[in-house]
Structure 1
Amino acid sequence: MKKIFVALTLGVTFAMLSCKNDAESVKSTNTTDTIKIDSTTVDTHTAQTSIDYEGTYEGVLPCIKSDCKEIELKLQLMPDGVFVYSTKRLGIDQEELMTTGTFHFENDGNTIVLDQIANVPNAFFISEGKIYQLDKDQKKIEGPDAEKYILLKK
């Protein structure tokens, strides 16, 4: 009987020591880790990345010079930053005057600039299905005639 008691005591002691080691290993786990979350949300949606801007845009804009009343303007934006820009002074020109070249996006990702166009506003704000001709300072034209500076996608 004494042998059984000694064996049982050793078994219980061994079991207790095993549990104690498990408990100590659990205690040594670090549970104070923190996760920092940046609350800044960056909207990366721009015309350059989110709108199918390639295509042909047309409109009749007021003439900026005093030699005509209106100009028929067509702007074709093609892949790889290539454009075809054609104008026709209504009531004066028999044929369109065409210019080709390259365009680039400004840092805002919504404004394009036609690099080879000079002496007239050469920047456009791209929106879904239309573009707005901007003034010489690349600002949106406002006022009662603002809608006259919109080209619609065909």
Structure 2
Amino acid sequence: MQFVSTKAKFLIQLIVIAVMALVTSFAKAETNLQCRSIFSDKILRSAPLKESVSEPLLNDVIIETIEGHGQITSRYRINQTEALSLGEKWMGSGYKEIGQPGSGVYLSADGRRRFRIDNNSVLGNHSPHKPHVHLELLEPISNIVIVNNHIILN
């Protein structure tokens, strides 16, 4: 009888997660990544964002992140424009900035992905000690970081 009860609880949890995902998918998508102004205005005021974007490269970085584990440094390098596009692609619609306004830390609507483009990362003030952004994969219930990919900027 205990097994049936546990199984029923698990099914209810799955249904709740599915409903939440469905509701989230209907959320209005942002047309521009909210962090674009932080990245371009606050950090890189003098650097114009006119670089090209390589979609296959962005896909490779995302696959690398999904397949990774723990703290990793990407084998790929991206430019500033690609960093912003990567953040948009990684987060999907309905994401929100977490922490203080202007923190540069964004959480996806489903709570499974985080994009960090904070000052210390962009300035290279911590490992790998080069300007970079982060793609993070989280366990949504415990908020434990499964993988933290540091992607170095060109």
When normalised by structure 2's length, the TM-score is 0.30
When normalised by structure 1's length, the TM-score is 0.30
**Between Structure 1 and Structure 2, whose CA radius of gyration is higher?**
1
